[in-house]
Structure 1
């Protein structure tokens, strides 16, 4: 056997061993972190969700950001705060946590909104407040733009609303490439992601420190599964196009909108929130001083209060008000 053939065999064997190792790791991650909610089947997609609070109370729906899952809202305390006065429905978005992400569809924010509106109707959720964090804010906006599903209001936290040059998201999109991306996801991507995860988490919370509860309770191993890496890569690739698609439509949002953003956000600059506030006719803006991308941890009480009161009409001159800086 030639040297080249020997090297090729070694590489193939190494890749097979890595793939087997990552499959075993995924099985163990799920065994150690079982589902914390329940499941519903909607439009051929199995969705994992939490249903908390009084079923007869006003409803608040929560959508997490890219790479995350339901636990972001439970660990931050936001679910418990909201459940005191509301029925809270908190979803793992497609491909994250324990929700499926069929490859037969391109899971744009609009496609996810279509799915969730069907799921909400199926679950009997009427006229909710919709709260989205980070990428989840785009899904919330997509629901807010619909004419066939009324909502009481939107609460948008740390969102990305206008297209900019984002080389970082393109670099993170590799595992979404068909075939080659699949090979990467099942071999080296989980190892690379495991190596950079601590730094990424620090960036998400900066300039504040990572909360102890997050360190001990967030199931980080679930984020390293090949199937979740694919979902995260796809949403990285779709981020800028989604913002470009929506930016001209923001003025048509008619419900009250509460916008939260950290002044120290290193993932989505605060100017994104300021620009959105100026385009909306019925919005107020809350800039949280020295908070980063994870504003749901920085001031969950204020965000919960905003969701509680999101259905209260805002003054028509709210858009001309200066930002509320805390």
Structure 2
């Protein structure tokens, strides 16, 4: 009996030591990330706290909303600069991502996040911006168009989440953590070391068949995902991402602003047949464009994304 007790204590000590080591790696990594990718823009106050954004160029406004687990750097490796030649371009860190605040109890559903984008539009005094939404940002943009069409001129969506997914893409399976304590524990110990170890596998799905741009880690902000708070809020966004989809799907016929979509034919995260072709077939007022490439069009197909956004602008 005493031997069993000692074995159990040894196992507990080993697990505690393993978790402690991972927690140390996590803290060290997060500190390095904060130094490598500091805030690059400005801050405004909205209901969830400080919101970080960039603001470039002059002309008709474009407001850009990034996807799951991302931040404004996904637009700031060339796409924002291209569009800023003839537009005023604003890209935000969605509340809870990048350098933007979000309380732990804030509603993370697409519709709630769309209401926060309305706050941004009003705080910056934007006159009917064209909304660019990528991936989950596309679902948020759709909710914005349905709830507040008077605030915007139209939608130009890049690989958007528009329908109920048939299955979860492999990189997102580990985000299914509905219990807050478990989510916190994993974020502070295992998530970041595992993310670094499995980066190539994750990139296969998120970027493939396109290559990962050299600028992704720093200029593209990719390293900012290696922080516990980013993991927790990405998990919360993932869990809430489907909350309004049934409502959205039932409202597409009532869209009162122009909507255009660009999808990569080889997208490994969201099936362009489901989220693009079937949607456009059912709702001819939504215009679909297809191109070669994967899911991360704002980073991997900059010139084509910029051309698509310009032609989608109804102004």
TM-score by structure 2 length?
Answer: 0.90
Paired position in structure 2 for 1:68: 70
Q: Identify the residue that residue 41 of structure 1 maps to in structure 2.
A: 45
Aligned pairs for 1:78-89 within 5 A: 78-89=79-90
Displacement after TM superposition at 1:63 (Å): 0.7
Deviation for aligned residue 1:298: 4.6
Task: Answer 1 or 2: higher relative contact order, Cα 8 Å, separation at least 6.
Answer: 2
- Kept in 1: contact 2:71–2:93 (CA 8 A): yes
- Summarize the alignment of residues 48-197 of structure 1 with structure 2, pairs less than 5 Å apart: 48-54=52-58, 57-75=59-77, 77-147=78-148, 149-168=150-169, 171-197=173-199
Q: CA deviation at 1:176?
A: 4.9
1:265 is aligned to: 267
Runs of 4+ in 1 over 6 A off after TM superposition: none
How many residue pairs are counted as aligned between the two chains?
Answer: 309
Q: Secondary structure at the residue paired with 2:242?
A: helix
Structure-2 residue corresponding to 1:241? 243
| Structure 1 partner of 2:291 | 288
Q: CA deviation at 1:175?
A: 4.4
Q: Kindly state the Cα deviation for residue 216 of structure 1 after the two structures are TM-superposed.
A: 6.7
Q: Distance in 2 between matches of 1:44 and 1:283?
A: 32
Secondary structure of 1:249's counterpart equals helix
Say whether the 8 Å CA contact 2:159–2:264 is kept in structure 1. yes
Contact 1:155–1:257 under 8 Å retained in 2:
yes
1:304 pairs with one of 271, 290, 306:
306
- Any gaps of 5 or more consecutive residues in structure 2? none
C-alpha distance 224-176 of structure 1, shift in aligned 2 (>3 A)? farther
Distance 1:11 1:211 in 2: 37
For residues 88-144 of structure 1, give each alpha carbon's deviation from its aligned partner in whole angstroms, at most 9, with x where no partner exists: 110011221111221122211111111111121011112000000111101111111
Q: Distance in 2 between matches of 1:165 and 1:284?
A: 23
Length-normalised TM-score, structure 1: 0.87
Assess if the C-alpha contact under 8 Å between 2:262 and 2:308 holds in 1. Answer: no
Pairing partner for 1:6 from 10, 14, 36? 10
Pick which of 140-149 and 104-113 moved more. 140-149
Shift of 1:281: 4.8
Shift of 1:81: 1.2
Contact 1:81 1:304 in 2 (8 A): yes
Change in CA separation of 1:210 and 1:28 when aligned onto 2, cut-off 3 Å:
closer
Is the Cα contact below 8 Å between 1:157 and 1:260 reproduced in 2?
yes
Hey, what's the Cα distance between the residues in 1 that align with 2:270 and 2:13? Answer: 44
